[in-house]
Amino acid sequence: MDLIHPHTASDVSDAMRAASADGTRLRVIGGRQHLGAAPDVDAEVWTTLLDRAIAYDPAEMLCVVEAGMRLADLRKMLAEGGQEWPVDEPDDATVGGAISAGVALTRQLRVGQLRDTVVEMEFVTGDGRRIRSGARTVKNVTGYDLHRLLTGAHGTLGVITQVALKLRPLPKTARTLMTRQGGLGLAARLLDAIPLPAAVIAGHDRVLVRLEGWPGEVAEQAKAANEVAVMADDDPAAWPAPAFPDAPFLVQAAIVPSRLEPLLEGTKRFRALMGVGFAWIPCDDEESVGLVRDRAISLGGVVSLQRGAAGSVGAAPPLPAIQKRIKAAFDPAGVLPAPVVVP
Amino acid sequence: MTDLRAARRDLDAALGAQAVHSDPLAVKLYARDASLVEGSAGLVAFPQSTEDVVTCMRIARDHGMPVVPRGSGTGLAGGATPLDDALVVVTTKMNRILEVRPEDRLAWVEPGVFNLDLANALEPTGFTYAPDPSSQQVSSIGGNVNTNAGGPHCLAYGVTSAHVLALDVVLPDGTTARIGAEGPAAAGYDLRGIVVGSEGTLGIVTAACVRLTPIAPAVRTMLLDFAQVEDCAATVSSIVARGVVPAALEMMDRGIVRAVENFAHAGYPTDAAAVLLVELDGLEGAVAAQSRQVEAAAREHGVGTVRVAADAIERALLSKGRKSAFGAIAQIAPHYHLHDCVVPRTRLTEVLTGVYAIARRHDLIVTNVFHAGDGNLHPLFSFDLTVPGTLERVLAAADEVVRLCVDAGGALSGEHGIGLEKRDFMPLVFTDEDLAAQACVRVAFDPDGRMNPQKVLPGGARCGDFAAAALARADQLPEGTWI
């Protein structure tokens, strides 16, 4: 297999144009943290050399970086400005990889969704066209937000080369509280009792509560939490919540919060993001992955695989004709993988 | 040429004659939105259900009529202004709140529900709908979705797109679909994200699933006044640099403060060059800590007085002043033209100075009231259209304001949209190739180009040949296969 290491967006454009002319099938690789099942490809485009910071002024609460920048480097740069991009993915993940994977933000209750943090994007289409959409401002209604299509598209529409990200101030203080017992019921009571938490994560064996903000506010929240349950405090290893590192397969389900209970009924090990509706379920084999998938879809949810390759896991998207036309318009020669869809 | 009488007959038969208007008054009323541009409506239909909207789309297709969706018509960019005798589909009769599910933090509403009515209906649940455009008393959720509307509270809470989970849409061919998801992730490409802000060019929204945001337990509103506009603008950056994200951070200059004070009697300081209205919300501990930071930032920049609203009544009075600004300016002159552009927050001062200079050059009165925290400017030119030559001066000034904002690294529109008004400015911020890619997405939804034609994209923007051919080929692929 050929490996392509572009240094610039123009290199990416050359590579894509050549691939489209030759019919080379490509796959875009970032930090290898969110890769699903490997499609059958002839070459890989590694974006990790596209890792420059283009602009960062803390007063704008925006930064512009190339897509191959590792999250560790981004975190370091932003911390110097007292800010963060609120994505709790591994240090080795790249900005572009996290965006392509459309990762869940564990602190969504407080920080919103990933898709709303990307305000401008430069990308290269399957046939080598260099496109920009959005603007380097926090608000913008100027034409169609093409970057929203690339966010969560798993590299099927083009190669993201550069993004402008909406940032947040780093919280002045943060605490992670933990119960000694688990369950959705206890977690639901904590979610109700604590005003504006960053996250309440239910597990089979414990409930994690993440509190962030100004010291007075976090103290207020911790007090409310302790009125519901005895909470152990501030285990530095507890955040971000570790996700079953021993399991060969990790399924992420997305469902309305009120259906977490039927989704997880009888599940031995799980984590669930309360008030949001993400659940993470470790599986030992493909068969159990399929069972979780079927149950989630029957409850109106969608699933994706966070770890392991188990054939296709997904759900049928709406308006398949429009989805197909969009894929065709951005990748006319079909050099990038097709989206994974389970009917 | 459309046979309007035949189309009217078909619509009457399907929707009932009372739901279709073609008398001269209705056609004239619906020939424009709140912008300066007047177009021409062929027929005006008032559907009451998704089925009615499907019917409108099919009849329009059968008669070759363009379709222009419209909510309350408060848009300022001409997005709902019909051209070429279009069928105007007005969604204001679809105004039910369908479902409120606090346990899932969502609500389903029809497009004609007014923004403020939704927020008020949600209040007893302890949740709210966060986006709050100044037009919220009369602007509809459907219109808000189509312009990706903003409002003062978008600084902390984000614009409409961040609060729309799913949409039921009717496509130009009459197909219906649900895009997005009630849950936190959806299958396929984010079509929801493309339809939000698409200004009625991709389909008609017949229901929106919106996110509910918990109402903050504590709120504090502060009014800061400054002798220099520059100090006021610098305070905005300084607040942000201190790690404070206010719920709202609104700036008003002297002209607008005087007009508002005459109207709202909120005790705004009419001798200040500019005032900042700062709203902080969250838990009491956060509000207290942030208000200390805001005050310190203001003192660094020579603030005159720091007024903190003592109670909910005073808070409401201060924000009433802000929200009534566009009514209050009727005292200055009979007509106005409101601009909307976004610049990097750190360039606010120089852009404002430039706006004042443009107004002077064109002999126009300009006042400014805007979302300073977002860098979202709203220069407001006041004038009397009956004075010959005025419109030309206003449009010339508008042109210069747009270029000024773009040169400062800004965007054409922060929350009002492109519509007709700014369509021809699109090449200032996008290359031909960027615009062609946008055109492809539009074609993917609307191959025949019947939804709100001539809006958003400039005349020359076309999906490129290679992409267009692939797009057409995609329709021939067997089910389950992709290019």
Say whether both B319 and B340 belong to one domain.
no
CATH of the domain at B102: 3.30.465.10
Tell me which DSSP letter residue B450 carries.
-
B481 part of a folded domain = no
pLDDT in tens, B378-388: 999 999 999 99
A343: pLDDT strictly greater than 50: no
**Is the Cβ of B420 closer than 8 Å to some Cβ of chain A?**
no
Put simply, whether A302 touches B (Cβ < 8 Å) is yes
For residue A213, which of B105, B240, B290, B248 has the smallest C-alpha distance? B290
- Report pLDDT for B202: 98
Q: Does B478 touch chain A (CB under 8 A)?
A: no
B482 occurs within a structural domain: no
Region A281-297: mean pLDDT is 93
Which one of B103, B245, B434 has the shortest CB-CB distance to A257?
A: B103
| Average pLDDT score, chain B | 94
Would you call A11 helix, strand, or coil by DSSP? helix
Q: Are residues B222 and B290 in the same domain?
A: yes
B311 in the same domain as B373: no
- How far is the C-alpha of B221 from the C-alpha of B262, rounded, in Å? 21
Domains of chain A: 2-169 (3.30.465.10), 173-238 (3.30.70)
pLDDT of B424 > 60? The answer is: yes
Are both B49 and B23 inside the same structural domain?
Answer: yes
pLDDT of B59 > 70? The answer is yes
pLDDT recorded at residue B63: 96
Q: Is the CB of A216 less than 8 angstroms away from the CB of B154?
A: no
* Residue B479 domain flag: no
Show which of B160, B187, B214 is a domain's final residue. B214
Residue B120 has pLDDT above 70, yes or no: yes
Residue B463: which domain range? 430-474
- B320 and B418 in a single domain? The answer is no
Q: DSSP letters along B40-62, please?
A: -EEEEE---SHHHHHHHHHHHHH
Dump pLDDT digits (tens) for B140-155: 999 999 999 998 899 9
B153 and B78 in one domain? no
CATH of the domain at B74: 3.30.43.10
Has residue B208 been placed in a domain? yes
Q: Is A21 within 8 Å of chain B by CB?
A: no
Residues of chain B found within 8 Å of residue A339, distances taken between Cβ atoms: 188-189, 482
In tens, the pLDDT along B81-118 reads 999 999 999 999 999 999 999 999 999 999 999 999 99
Residues B293 and B342 in one domain: no
Give yes or no: residues B260 and B275 share one domain.
yes
Within 13 A of B451's CA, how many CA atoms are on the CB side? 28
Q: How far is B167 from chain A (nearest CA, A)?
A: 11
Residues B209 and B222 in one domain: no
Q: Which two tokens stand for residue B325?
A: 């600004």
Does the structure show a pLDDT above 70 at A314?
Answer: no
Check: CB of residue B87 under 8 Å from CB of residue B43.
Answer: yes
Do residues B233 and B349 touch, judged by C-beta distance below 8 A?
A: yes
> pLDDT tens digits, residue range B228-258?
999 999 999 999 989 999 999 999 999 999 9
Band of the pLDDT at B434, cuts 50, 70, 90? Answer: very high
Residue B359 falls within a domain, yes or no? Answer: yes
> Does one domain contain both B289 and B227?
yes
More confident residue, B330 or A285: A285
Exposed, middle or buried, B217 (CB in 10 Å: 0-12/13-18/19+)?
A: middle
pTM of the model: 0.96
**Min Cα–Cα distance to chain B from A56, Å:** 12
CB contact under 8 A, A137 and B410: yes
In a domain, B242, yes or no: yes
pLDDT band at A310 (very low <50, low <70, confident <90, very high): low
In a domain, B295, yes or no: yes
- The residue from B153, B184, B214 where one domain ends is B214
Which CATH number goes with the domain that contains B419?
3.30.70.2740
Position B331 scores a pLDDT of 86
Structure tokens at B88: 């105007």
Distance, in angstroms, between B262 CA and closest chain A CA?
A: 31
Number of domains in chain B: 5
β pairing state of B86-90 and B41-45: parallel
Give, as one character, the DSSP assignment of residue A339: P
Is B249 inside a domain boundary?
yes
CATH number at residue B275: 3.30.70.2190
Based on the domain organization, do B315 and B350 belong to the same domain? no
Closest B-chain CA to A329: B467
Domain boundary among B192, B214, B236: B214
B243 and B263 in a common domain: yes
**Residues B17-34: what's their mean pLDDT?**
95
Please state the φ and ψ torsions of residue A32, each to the nearest 5 degrees. Answer: 60, 30
Q: Do B456 and A149 touch (CB under 8 A)?
A: no
**Residue B129: pLDDT over 70:** yes
Query: Tens of pLDDT along B28-41?
Result: 999 999 988 899 99
A104 inside 8 A of chain B by CB: yes
